[in-house]
Chain A
């Protein structure tokens, strides 16, 4: 979801009998729910898959700050501005926890960030949509962070120790994000003008489907899903997580007094779940490929931040060097 499509390099999942002794010992450890730590032996495919997934996840946190940054100077009150800044600072922190977890696998942070900037590495498609009204700050907190929570709560049990620990830390902080978002919408629906209420509904209309796309494509019989599940990097399928999210979100949507832009959304007594319409997968793949409404703007902003901050990083190194020489003299 924050990592929507992760290549594992596997053609099919191999049986224990087909594995080398060390790979078999590794798989048995995973099967026994014992966490894999940085110094343990691991198959190269496991390592590369994790680097791809964790870096995508980290990039999503970092790029995720940009749509919200748009509203820091436009927040309606000082209170809302402080809350928004606190949330954005959390996202930066989440990115850092994840980059650190990624580095324990031997990946280089600069190289992985370069892959983001060159378009080789992906980040969540959701952050390529524009934030055109204040209600979007509410809808993002409620829907986007809500979807992130569903995914990340499950990822706390992922098999790689540092990733799992980063998830536990992130989940502790994420609930504030969702609640502040929902409260923004609730305030607008309860005390707002007709125009403001319309703004909330409009925001939900635009962000509903992209939020459902966050969970990634259907789990077909793709070897990537199966391999990720066998390694217990992934613990639940994309479709299971999407259903969990919809089931918990629809009552909140009704409480707001709003509707979803999906005529097929209705409770199915027999299944004990909500039924919902088909996602526009063409749009999903287009956005993921770099052709969403804001892809170019997001990457341009990221690059600019890195380039224009170069002198600060250089100055910090020069200062540290000078302090060291002074201490030695």
Chain B
């Protein structure tokens, strides 16, 4: 197993929806990863499409960076539609 790579699995649950991360599998190559993902994550009609991605190919933000990355958006209320109060007469916009 040590020689097998780890793959992250993404499933599209229905046509029109995006692929969502569901877990991971070990496999010797991408084709086997796809087969394993199919057996492990879609035994009960969970999906219509699968992606497998080598885990090593994912670059992730770390927990420590949370403030640096995401706090700046907190004080930018003007990015939300609800910030702009319009007179009732304008109607739905």
Contact = CB atoms under 8 A, between A and B. Distances in A.
Contacts of A319: 28-29
A96 B60 contact: no
B1 interface: yes
Q: Is the interface of A mostly helix, strand, loop or mixed?
A: helix
Contact of A320 (B6, B25, B26, B29): B29
Contacts of A109: 1, 26
Interface in A271-329: 313, 316-317, 319-320, 323-324
B91 interface: no
B26 A41 contact: no
B4 A89 contact: no
A313 B36 CA distance: 14
- What is the interface residue range for chain A against chain B? 20 to 34
B67 interface: no
- What is the interface residue range for chain B against chain A? 10 to 19
B63 interface: yes
B2 interface: yes
Contacts of B4: 313, 316-317
Nearest to A176: B44
Contacts of A100: 23-25
Interface string B30-65: 001000000110011000000000000000101100
A302 to B, nearest CB: 14
Interface of A: 37, 39-41, 86, 89-90, 93, 96-97, 100, 103, 108-110, 165-166, 169, 173, 313, 316-317, 319-320, 323-324
22 contacts: A39-B60, A41-B63, A86-B43, A89-B39, A93-B40, A97-B23, A97-B40, A100-B24, A100-B25, A103-B24, A108-B2, A110-B1, A110-B2, A166-B23, A169-B23, A313-B4, A316-B28, A317-B28, A319-B28, A319-B29, A320-B28, A320-B32
Top 6 closest pairs, chain A to chain B, by CB: A320-B29, A316-B28, A320-B28, A40-B63, A39-B63, A100-B24
Interface of B: 1-4, 6, 23-26, 28-29, 32, 39-40, 43-44, 60, 62-63
